[in-house]
A = this chain, B = another copy of it.
Amino acid sequence: MNRPPLDYLIDYLRFPSISTQSNHKPDMEACATWLVDLFREMGLEAKIHKTKGHPIVLAKSAKKAGKPTLLIYGHYDVQPPEPLAEWTTPPFEPTLRDGKLYARGAGDNKGPTLAHILGTKKILEEGELPVNIIYLIEGEEEIGSPNLEGFIRDHREELACDIIAISDTIMPANDWPTLTYGLRGVAAMELTVRGPERDLHSGIFGGAVANPATAAGRLIASLHDEKGHVQIEGFYEDIRPLEKWEHEAFANRPSTDTDFLELTGSPILWGEDGFSTFERVGARPTAEINGISGGYQGEGTKTVLPREAIVKITFRLVPDQTPEKILRLAEAHFRKHCPPGVTLEIEHGHGGMAYFSDPTTRYGVAAKRALKTAFGKEPALIREGGSIPILHQFHDILKTDILLMALAAPDVQAHSPNESFPVKNLESGIRLHQEFLKELAAC
């Protein structure tokens, strides 16, 4: 009855649980059922919760008073495997090559989630759980978790916990224990620059009226100086300075600019003067143009003076910037810099604060210790540039901190053909889980 962990992962990866393709609805349900059966086999109380979309699997150990409660979040849905022709072996026939298991969802997120589950399983086989544990495994992460927030809200008492752990981030280098303690926030804005009532003939009228596309270019150019500093007044004023340990963590990050450059496919790395690449991404706010449009965009030439131009912008935020204030400052900046002859419409989009989970708290320390023991080396403490909106849903509703402990390395090819998960990482994940529970119990 003692099946090796890899066999479980192979079973789990066989489900084509593609959340975005409606024909896979039965596969989603079968995959959720498989999880519930596994949890029950381990001795947890487990249940499928229907949502408007794909079901959520919730599993719990019998609650013991006096023990801290850990909630582990993961997702059983996967990205579509297309283009199929680029897979060496079929995406839903898990195949072992060179120590890695190849299948869609292996690294994102079935392998990491299952490492935790099998860690719990191992502890239970050997004795008793040192903490109370709750698993929340959803089936809609790859489509933006539309039903997760409502579920957390409706089940907030059942989900009450002391700490949340998620293994859905990426290590900066292979086999490197990693605690991601910071992610950037976001604030979105759209500018519509309007001029004439309709596209005008640029010969007949050009010179006599302001061109909205030119005005849009001037607004874009007003955002940064030549050294990449954002020129919005007050933009940088709420930034929490880096602690000493953070400077050290940035310096010790186990990946290089060369690695990062390769990921971008850009000619060179370039950014705000005075900061390293990883500081620019993790510790500095940015103003990025996401899209521009206006006038004629087809092949060749059309001599129009466009009636309007649109600029889509997102700001990435760091602690303690707030989206509200940044959008307010940005609006004032654009109003001030708008050239004559056009009107400017400014729309404020979605926003979210940066995520920051202090790794010097007792739970942070517990995570670091467990990572060190499980991997045999000092964990990297990193800040990443992206945003994970669900963290805020968990944090705001459950009032709990979240620990992001990566189990996947950059080469897992998440969302791409030939996704994989190293057997070694499955094993270190199981170890990490066991160590983490021990450390938590001692908190």
Contact = CB atoms under 8 A, between A and B. Distances in A.
A239 interface: no
Contact of A312 (B184, B205, B301, B343): B301
A400 B395 CA distance: 80
A137 B90 CA distance: 68
A289 B211 contact: yes
Interface stretch (A75-83, A160-168, A217-225): A217-225
Contacts of A260: 208
Given A267-B342, A297-B310, A306-B291, A214 B208 contact: no
Contacts of A272: 207
B209 A270 contact: yes
A398 B196 CA distance: 39
A297 B412 CA distance: 31
A290 interface: yes
A314 interface: yes
A243 interface: no
Interface string A133-153: 000000000000000000000
B217 A264 contact: no
Interface string A214-253: 1011111111101000000000000000000000000000
Interface in A348-378: 349-350
A206 B218 CA distance: 21
A280 interface: yes
Interface residues of A, number: 82
Contacts of A302: 290-291, 312
A88 to B, nearest CB: 22
A201 interface: yes
Contacts of A132: none
A341 interface: yes
A385 B204 contact: yes
A284 interface: yes
A277 interface: yes
A296 interface: yes
A296 B292 CA distance: 7
Give how many copies assemble into the complex: 2
Given A202-B290, A296-B312, A210 B264 contact: no
B349 A210 contact: no
Given A284-B207, A314-B301, A290 B306 contact: yes
A37 B214 CA distance: 52
B221 A288 contact: no
A99 interface: no
A281 B305 CA distance: 13
Interface string A269-295: 111100001001100101011111111
A205 B267 contact: no
Given A209-B271, A280-B208, A291 B295 contact: yes
A116 B293 CA distance: 46
Interface string A286-327: 101111111111001111111001111010100000000000
A293 B305 CA distance: 14
27 contacts: A188-B301, A190-B301, A203-B386, A204-B384, A206-B314, A207-B316, A208-B270, A210-B271, A211-B289, A213-B289, A213-B291, A216-B217, A217-B218, A218-B220, A220-B221, A221-B222, A288-B305, A290-B301, A290-B304, A290-B305, A290-B306, A291-B302, A293-B293, A293-B294, A297-B310, A297-B312, A301-B314
Given A204-B386, A218-B220, A290-B302, 4 more contacts: A190-B301, A197-B266, A213-B291, A213-B292
Interface of A: 184, 186, 188, 190, 195-198, 200-211, 213-214, 216-224, 226, 260, 263-272, 277, 280-281, 284, 286, 288-297, 300-306, 309-312, 314, 316, 339-343, 349-350, 384-387
Closest 10 CB pairs of A and B: A217-B220, A197-B265, A270-B341, A221-B221, A203-B386, A291-B295, A213-B289, A207-B280, A291-B296, A209-B266
